[in-house]
Chain A
Amino acid sequence: MNPSTLEIPVEIPADARNPVEPFLRMDRMPHIWCPACGIGTTVNCFTRALLDSKVDLDKVAVVSGIGCTGRVAGYANLDSFHTTHGRAIPFATGLKLANPELQVVVYSGDGDLFAIGGNHFIHAARRNMDLKVICVNNLTYAMTGGQTAPTTPDHVISATSPYGVFEPSFNLVALAEAAGAAYVARWTTYHVKQLSRSMEEMLHKKGFCFIEVLSPCPTLYQRRNKMGEGLDAMKFYKQVSKVRNGAPTSECALTKSGEIVVGKFVDRDRPDYLNLLRTQMTESLGDRYAEPEVSCSC
């Protein structure tokens, strides 16, 4: 790419502010993400979704695990938790149950949510815990140097698969649907408008919601696999993505260079965990059931 194409020919006033700044901890900038990494794009979409959804930001909490995407919590100007590797979902479960008025968003990566944390994902989906899970899927463990993840497609070269990946990978959207998620969608960082809209829709949806966002890792995935730079990833997403809302998730598996099916695949109503709890206890205990007051005033 010619560096001159990045030059912006207009004068930007010194006091100009990006409209998403109030949603970010500007005192923590610059962030740690590489140039052309897609995580920042997803954060931008998320802030737009928060803005458009008109939710009370004091009642939104972001919970992340460990990894590049795990750092999102630290940049969000919200109550935010950077937890342990793989355990964002069970932490979020406790937070939500103690304080159900919170909108709890789990924002983490594919390795964190589906390898070390895979068990928690399927159980939270099974329970239909009212959590909004955003998985930035860069198909690799980026923070640790580009090792094979359970999402890394066949034949890809990684730091721990120097001769190419041969393990079958997870189809995350099919997994989410099978485990019971109420809402399942997939976009890429090329689809910023659609992603923002999906995130906004999810913020208004009750129950366990899941959005997978395919996001480039130019430094550790593309470079090693001779897939070009950041802009090439956008061109690739544009070329191979196909919007198929309502597509059977079993047909949405990803390969190294094949079609990427994007869209909203699942949007169904199931009673969420707290609803089920209340129903069961009222049925069994009648008037003796006391509504949970978990958060102490002390």
Chain B
Amino acid sequence: MHADPKGVLTGVHFLDGDHACCEGTLAAGARFAAGYPITPSTEVVERFAWRIPTVGGIFIQMEDELAASIAIQGAVWGGAKAFTVTSGPGFSLMMEHIGYAAMTETPCVFVNVQRGGPSTGLPTLPAQADMMQAKWGSHGDYGIIALCPNSPQECFDLTITGFNLSEEFRVPVMLMLDECVGHMTEKVVIPAAEQIEVTPRRQTKLPPEEFHLFEPREDLVPDMVKAGDGYRFHVTGLTHDHRGYPSMNVETQDEQVRRLQDKLKPLSNGRAICETENLDDADVVVVSYGITSRVAQRALQLARARGIRAGKFRIISAWPFPEQRIRDLAGRVKAFVVPEINLGQMVHEVARAAAGKAAVIPVSHAGGSVHNPELILKAIEEAAR
């Protein structure tokens, strides 16, 4: 279906990533946001608080991130599309509720504008060091989706994609911005509402007596209902059967937890979102994401100018990791160079997918700024040698 025009600010704008992300939430149909102030993410909900009273929805500033991350899930079961926004320390506090959303298959969106860590770290400066936390931060086994925009335009576009994937797969989706992408200002084109595709909720067509809240469809994802419609359903974070009733046995646990991961398989294979350039003849491939992909772009230009056959692989959907794509490349390139603003996170996934068939070279950075392109160029040159 198309976006509701009430939330779509069609036109050409000059926005930073945080503001563009907010416009993305409105275009995607989000009418509820709960947040707690934290740099460098707050602008997303500041804009939402300013915009939403004339669109028709609610923003509530909660007492902490624990509250914000569960209030949005209450709103989702009340029928809303909802999201919250945070950074480092707040993201850590939200972990339990990311697990709750995964376990209860509650579609919702978490925006994380990454800053330097650990702990309070570098509140106003960039990092990409929450990438593993996004996937593994809550206890137990589960699956999530994480998307990494590298421009304000993508903050708008991928926020809509994020909401859509969240509805399709009934999972929490993380939008993994970083301080640079969140605060850089660029041209953002917002199309007309009828040009924006929005995925509706998987509302069941079955009557209450035939409906089971956690009975998966062919794509392993169950359909949904909202409170107040007479279905008298039960939702719990305990391991539960297809009716949603707690079931403390090994068989239910095995079936449920495996399905929470298996339902996302299409995204690690054919439907992975990536951007590639010059891969056909590449000896060295730079794998990057977020702001680092824009720094890497400069290093790639310099490398090509020096006659090195270097190609670009930009990860856009970081989780599930696009492992099939990396595996296919590993057989025919010499090396992967992986710059990221952390001491080595996604590089481990690249190495796992490459499975020894190509060298994998990290270019780490502890956070606080972007890489110097020369540093990435040096790694490309060494890899090509």
Question: Do A and B actually bind?
Answer: yes
Contact of A84 among B34, B78, B97 (CB under 8 A): B97
Which of A27, A285, A298 has most chain B Cβ within 10 Å? A298
* Bound-complex Cα distance A263 to B75 (A): 34
Q: For residue A91, which residues in chain B have a CB less than 8 angstroms away from its CB?
A: 70-71, 73-74
B74 touches A92 (CB 8 A): yes
Q: For residue B62, which residues in chain A have a CB less than 8 angstroms away from its CB?
A: 90, 93, 123
Q: Is B136 an interface residue (CB 8 A)?
A: no
Q: For residue B56, which residues in chain A have a CB less than 8 angstroms away from its CB?
A: 290-293
Q: Is B226 an interface residue (CB 8 A)?
A: yes
* Bound-complex Cα distance A293 to B226 (A): 14
Which of B57, B100, B245 has most chain A Cβ within 10 Å? B57
CB distance from A178 to the nearest CB of B (A): 16
Q: For residue B235, which residues in chain A have a CB less than 8 angstroms away from its CB?
A: 80-82
B201 touches A97 (CB 8 A): no
Q: Is A73 an interface residue (CB 8 A)?
A: yes
Q: For residue A96, which residues in chain B have a CB less than 8 angstroms away from its CB?
A: 74, 78
CB distance from B53 to the nearest CB of A (A): 5
* Bound-complex Cα distance A80 to B226 (A): 11
**Which A residues, 79 to 130, have Cβ-Cβ distances below 8 Å to chain B?**
79-84, 86-87, 90-99, 101-102, 119-120, 123
Q: Is A243 an interface residue (CB 8 A)?
A: no
Q: Is A59 an interface residue (CB 8 A)?
A: yes
Q: Is B5 an interface residue (CB 8 A)?
A: no
Q: Is A277 an interface residue (CB 8 A)?
A: yes
How many residues of chain B get a CB closer than 8 Å to chain A's CBs?
54
Which of A25, A58, A92, A99 has most chain B Cβ within 10 Å? A99
Q: Is A296 an interface residue (CB 8 A)?
A: yes
Q: Mark A262-298, 1 if CB is under 8 A from B, else 0.
A: 0000000000000001000100110011111111101
* Bound-complex Cα distance A97 to B60 (A): 9
Q: For residue A93, which residues in chain B have a CB less than 8 angstroms away from its CB?
A: 60, 62, 67, 71, 74
Contact of B232 among A79, A81, A99 (CB under 8 A): A79
Q: For residue A281, which residues in chain B have a CB less than 8 angstroms away from its CB?
A: 53
Q: Is A74 an interface residue (CB 8 A)?
A: yes
Q: For residue A63, which residues in chain B have a CB less than 8 angstroms away from its CB?
A: 74
Residue of A nearest to B225 (CB): A79
Q: For residue A295, which residues in chain B have a CB less than 8 angstroms away from its CB?
A: 31, 78-80, 226
* Bound-complex Cα distance A25 to B76 (A): 24
B32 touches A94 (CB 8 A): yes
A119 touches B63 (CB 8 A): yes
Q: Is A28 an interface residue (CB 8 A)?
A: yes
29 A-B residue pairings within 8 Å (CB atoms):
A25-B245, A74-B246, A79-B228, A82-B236, A84-B100, A87-B66, A87-B70, A90-B34, A94-B73, A97-B75, A98-B74, A98-B79, A98-B82, A99-B227, A101-B228, A102-B78, A119-B67, A120-B63, A285-B53, A289-B54, A290-B55, A290-B56, A291-B56, A292-B56, A293-B31, A294-B78, A296-B29, A298-B29, A298-B203
Interface residues of B (CB under 8 A from A): 1, 6, 29, 31-32, 34, 53-58, 60, 62-64, 66-68, 70-82, 96-97, 100, 198, 200-201, 203, 226-238, 245-246
Interface residues of A (CB under 8 A from B): 25, 27-28, 57-59, 61, 63, 73-74, 77-84, 86-87, 90-99, 101-102, 119-120, 123, 277, 281, 284-285, 288-296, 298
Nearest 10 pairs of A and B residues by beta carbon: A94-B74, A98-B78, A295-B79, A298-B200, A99-B78, A290-B56, A94-B71, A90-B67, A95-B74, A94-B75
